[in-house]
A and B are shown apart, each in its own frame.
Chain A
Amino acid sequence: MMLIKLAWRNLWRNKRRTWITISSVLFAVLLALFLESMDRGSQEVMVQNVVRFSTGYAQLQDTLYFDEPHIDNAMHCDDACMEKVVADFPNIAYTVPRLESVALAAGDEKTRVAFITGINYEVEHRFNEIGERLRQGDFFTGREDEVVIGTGLAQSLDLGIGDSLVVFGQGFQGAMAAGKFLVVGLVQHPVPDLNERMVFMPLPQAQKLFDAENRLNHLKLVPHQLRHHQRVVDAINEHPGYEELQAYTWEELQPELVKTIEFDQAGTLMFLLILYIVIGFGIFGTILTMTLEREKEFGVLISVGMQRHKLAQVIFTETLFMNFMGVILGVLTAIPLLLYFYFNPISLGEGMENMMAEYGMEAVLRFSLDPQFFYQQAIIVFGISMLIVSYPVVRVFRLNVLNAARK
């Protein structure tokens, strides 16, 4: 108790220096959290945009489809099959079926390569809120020949609501896939490349178009907890009765996205490392000054009978107090700041929109509030600052008492 009291009092004998050290830790935590939040926020948006609108977090396919992603390798899965998947795996909340193929899509005068996607609108919207991106018309009206197309495709084919779209391609096992459809809606797909190509139609209509009754390219598996998608995939792949199907995580299906995220994380890590080094040296500077200023006192204390390890405990406790206060204040300062940016993302301006759009990202910097990185960064900065305390502690153990007491 006496040592703690001494450490606490020592902390305030030079208030300015103490506050400088606390501020160093505070700003280290704050900046690290800010960077990490921005980085994770961007990644979360990237994953949401790309994953939710393409592969989903986990996906069930025919075993042949991964190597040959062709409609001929579409899996057979009717409504009963979809219900069975949910029943067999309690971790799965619901499934999102899709039948997809590439075909030519033509308006009055122009033809483009299009990505024809048969969906069950209700579950699709539940999964990725595609309906919120509808810009004109409706997401299906109940007709048997209707499509909702991307605004980019509509623009390039010069089509609008009520116009006809002709689709021509290859169906299941070489069948011809051709049809004329009414455009009933225009949707702004978040992935720009897909916005230029996307044609949505009701799943039964797509199965009919491609002559692929009860067939799906894949069945998206939506876990109750999105982060548990790996568990879902593992469970299915180990479950008897699913030998002809194979489940994948989005990381397996989108290795390029994983690489992009890893690259992004590496950049952030570099920034953080530089930050840690700069802040680390800042803290070290004040600790060094404190140590050198008090060497005489250390020498006297050892002279009168204080064991070196007890003196080291006092110094360790002082630094512990300072670092702990810095970390707590840093987190407390970061929370309102990050909350603000979470609800008010930073706009990068119009100039960045096109460039960012190419990567399927919005021209805003979004922030994450994932609690995981809060404690991760707090622990890292705390760890670094506690590592620095090894200097005065080592110094105490190596102190020449006579030289120190003479100063």
Chain B
Amino acid sequence: MHVIETSGLYKIYNEDTVPVYAVNDISIQFDPKEFSCIIGPSGSGKSTLLNLIGGLDTPSRGTVTVAGKRIDTMSESNRIRFRLEHIGFVFQHYNLIPVLTAYENAAFIMQLQGRGEKETRERVTGLLEQVGLGNRLNSRPAELSGGEQQRVAVVRALASKPDFILADEPTANLDTKAAFNLLDMMKQLNEEEGITFLFSTHDQRVIDRAKRVVTLVDGTLHSDEHRK
């Protein structure tokens, strides 16, 4: 079963006046354990497609099925709940909560899910140790480097045990070393634990590591390259 499936997907702005096709008839599937990226020039519809897949936006036409469920027809409240249970997000600007520690930022999502304290502590602590932040559990975001913050963001996305992680330009604000470390970490999570990653990126370092590269141009699917 595909973890993500879109069919005849459109996102059209100003439909009644001068229509702008941000996403134009895209039908695509992503399978579990993929490490894929969506690339394309600015304005090609990468982020819009990611937002539609993530349930942050609703399509003008077409369907989005995630983990076997149509999310385009869900109410907003159900979509939020669905995102919480099934989708992890990693943002370009990390977007951690500044008043919470690294541990609390990651644990926050599990607490929203209503998970128990013991389970939360074990999972979050384990994940933070796995990404090399075992000694930074009590550090607030302002005390962490950009790379460390983005790792916490990845742990936050992983903590809820999602079906896949959507990462929007995750390396854009990182220096080369931090970007490589982060990508190595995500690649390792993908290969060893089967975590599905879907990136939107311009970064060649991400593209080089991806097993599948989907290229968008003007909102349409230009190419879909599977690599070994």
Report A's interface with B, CB cutoff 8 A: 2, 6, 9-10, 12-13, 296-297, 300-308, 310, 401-402, 405
Contact = CB atoms under 8 A, between A and B. Distances in A.
A304 B77 CA distance: 12
A9 B95 contact: no
B99 A307 contact: no
B164 interface: no
A2 to B, nearest CB: 5
B122 to A, nearest CB: 17
A35 B95 CA distance: 47
A6 B109 CA distance: 13
Interface residues of B, number: 25
Interface stretch (B78-86, B123-131, B187-195): B78-86
Contacts of B98: 13
Given A2-B108, A402-B56, A305 B97 contact: no
Contacts of A297: 95, 97
Query: Chain A at the B interface: mostly helix, strand, loop or mixed?
Result: helix
A298 B91 CA distance: 14
A300 B108 contact: no
B91 A300 contact: yes
B111 interface: yes
Nearest to A2: B111
Interface string B107-143: 0110111000000000000000000000000000000
Interface string B94-106: 0101111000000
Contacts of A6: 97, 99-100, 108
Contacts of A12: 99
A303 B89 contact: yes
B93 to A, nearest CB: 9
Nearest to B77: A307
A307 B75 CA distance: 12
A310 B99 contact: no
Given A297-B97, A401-B56, 13 more contacts: A6-B97, A6-B99, A13-B98, A13-B99, A300-B91, A303-B56, A304-B83, A304-B109, A305-B85, A306-B80, A307-B77, A402-B51, A405-B95
A304 B57 contact: no
Interface of B: 51, 54, 56-57, 77, 80-81, 83-85, 89, 91, 95, 97-100, 108-109, 111-113, 156-157, 160
A300 B100 CA distance: 15
Nearest to A7: B99
B133 to A, nearest CB: 19
B112 A310 contact: yes
A96 B80 CA distance: 75
A301 B97 CA distance: 9
Given A6-B100, A303-B56, A308 B95 contact: no
Contacts of A307: 77, 80-81
Nearest to B157: A304
A22 to B, nearest CB: 18
B99 A305 contact: no
B99 A9 contact: yes
Given A303-B89, A401-B56, A308 B97 contact: no
Contacts of A9: 99-100
A307 B97 CA distance: 16
Given A300-B91, A303-B56, A401-B56, A10 B99 contact: yes
A401 B77 CA distance: 13
Contact of A304 (B51, B84, B99, B100): B84
Given A305-B80, A307-B81, A402 B97 contact: no
A300 B160 CA distance: 16
Nearest to B101: A9
Nearest to A406: B47
B148 to A, nearest CB: 18
A305 B160 CA distance: 10
14 contacts: A6-B97, A6-B108, A9-B99, A9-B100, A300-B91, A303-B83, A304-B156, A304-B157, A305-B80, A305-B112, A307-B77, A307-B81, A308-B80, A405-B56
